[in-house]
Each structure stands twice: as structure tokens, then as C-alpha cells.
């Protein structure tokens, strides 16, 4: 009675036969990475399930809401909310409604800075009494110094606000000074005085760290 020989197991994935006929399993080794190619390659889309940036999440959610996406058609630019502007189609970037929206935002920020400056002047004018206690006097002086530093930062911000309003008038607002590409609605809403895209800003900060300029 003849015996049927047992079938040979199929070679594993990635296995190859040598000259002697033996199966040798090989590993799929990824190609060596090119650091220059990785550095200058276009950004890869986020993997499925990856965590997105908060601004991007808000933008995607806003675009998915038809009420928000069509609100700009029936409202003036000054009446639009941040979410409604984010939901606008990409083809409408820096149209008349968005320019009106950012002009109102910048004007409101400008009035707030000017109001704070007036309040500081009144505080300094009122706190002219001499306090006999050295500790209390030192506390008041420290508060005044802190308030003046805050107003100095706002003075610099006021200059940027005025420049941004001028850019609205010339049609340059919303576009990067270095690359000419759109800065993006999310970044402009968070920072209305931005003149650089996020990538250009990161490059500039990196150069400042490297060269101390």
C-alpha cells in the first residue's frame, strides 16, 4: 500500500529559493530615506484617524454646515461671524464680504487699544497721591510699570493694525509678503495683523534663532 507524500508548505511571503532549492525567508527592507527629499517633499495628508489642528477642525466642521456655508450670501461682511467666514468657499477668498469683515474686526481692535490707552492715562493721573508706606508705594509703582509695559505692547500692535487697514485699501491684505500666497482665513481670524503665512513665519523664526537677527 503506497503512501501519498505530504504536501510541502507554501513558501512564506517574501521567501525565495536558493540554488540548493531551500526556501530562505527574506525581509522587505524599506528603501533608505533621503533627508533632502523628505525635507522638501510636499506635506502628506493626515492619516486616517490622525488628530487635526483645532483651526482645521473648526474649518472642516464649518464647511460641512450648509447654514454657515450660505450665510455670507444674505449678510453684510460686518455681520458675519468667524464660523460663517470660515465656511465660505475657497474661491471667495478675500472677496468684498471678507474684506468688510476683517475691516470691522481691525477697527474694533483699534478702538479697544485706544480705549485702553485712555484708561491708563486716567489711572496714572489719579494715582498721584503720595503713599507713606514704602511697601504700598512700591506695589503701586510696580503696577504702573506693568501697565505701561502693556500699553507699550499695544502701541506696537496699534501700528500693525493701521498698516493692516492700509493693506485692505491696497488689496494686499490676506496674502503673504514673502511668497504672495494666501495666508488663510483661520490664521487671519486668530491674528488679523498677520502679514506672513504660517510656513513663512516659521522660516523667519528659524532664521532668527540661527543667526540672531
pLDDT per residue over 137-195, tens digit each?
A: 677 677 767 777 777 788 889 999 999 999 999 999 999 999 999 999 999 999 999 99
Are 184 and 197 contacting, i.e. CB atoms less than 8 angstroms apart? yes
Query: Comparing 46-50, 59-63, 150-154, which segment has the lowest mean pLDDT?
Result: 46-50
Most confident of 21-25, 35-39, 50-54, 129-133: 129-133
Residue in the structure block whose three cell numbers are 491708563? 120
Instruction: State the Cα–Cα distance between residues 80 and 99, nearest whole angstrom.
Output: 11
Statement: residue 72 has pLDDT above 60: yes
Instruction: State the Cα–Cα distance between residues 64 and 86, nearest whole angstrom.
Output: 11
Reported pTM: 0.61
pLDDT band at residue 48 using 50, 70 and 90 as cut-offs: very low
Statement: residue 53 has pLDDT above 70: no
Residue in the structure block whose three cell numbers are 482645521? 56
Q: What is the pLDDT of residues 32-45, one digit of tens each?
A: 444 334 433 444 44
- Ordered alpha helix ranges (H), 10-133: 35-40, 54-63, 66-71, 82-86, 96-126
pLDDT band at residue 199 using 50, 70 and 90 as cut-offs: very high
Average of per-residue pLDDT across 101-105:
96
What is the 3-class SS of 176-199, one letter each residue?
A: CCCCCCECCHHHHHHCCCCCCCHH
Average of per-residue pLDDT across 8-37:
47
pLDDT band at residue 131 using 50, 70 and 90 as cut-offs: low
pLDDT at residue 97, rounded to an integer = 95
Amino acid at each position: 500500500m503506497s503512501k501519498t507524500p505530504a504536501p510541502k508548505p507554501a513558501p512564506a511571503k517574501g521567501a525565495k529559493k536558493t540554488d540548493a532549492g531551500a526556501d530562505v525567508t527574506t525581509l522587505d527592507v524599506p528603501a533608505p530615506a533621503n533627508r533632502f527629499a523628505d525635507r522638501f517633499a510636499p506635506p502628506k495628508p493626515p492619516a486616517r484617524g490622525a488628530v487635526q489642528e483645532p483651526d482645521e477642525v473648526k474649518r472642516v466642521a464649518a464647511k460641512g454646515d450648509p447654514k454657515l456655508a450660505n450665510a455670507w450670501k444674505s449678510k453684510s461682511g460686518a455681520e458675519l461671524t468667524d464660523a460663517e467666514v470660515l465656511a465660505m468657499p475657497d474661491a471667495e477668498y478675500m472677496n468684498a464680504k471678507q474684506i468688510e469683515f476683517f475691516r470691522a474686526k481691525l477697527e474694533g481692535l483699534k478702538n479697544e487699544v485706544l480705549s485702553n490707552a485712555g484708561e491708563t492715562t486716567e489711572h496714572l493721573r489719579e494715582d498721584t497721591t503720595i503713599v507713606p508706606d514704602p511697601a504700598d508705594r512700591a506695589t503701586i509703582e510696580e503696577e504702573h510699570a506693568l501697565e505701561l509695559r502693556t500699553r507699550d505692547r499695544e502701541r506696537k500692535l496699534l501700528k500693525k493694525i493701521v498698516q493692516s487697514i492700509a493693506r485692505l485699501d491696497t488689496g494686499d491684505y490676506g496674502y503673504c509678503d514673502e511668497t504672495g500666497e494666501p495666508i488663510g482665513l483661520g490664521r487671519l481670524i486668530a491674528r488679523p495683523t498677520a502679514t506672513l503665512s504660517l510656513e513663512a513665519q516659521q522660516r523667519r523664526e528659524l532664521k532668527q534663532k540661527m543667526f540672531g537677527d
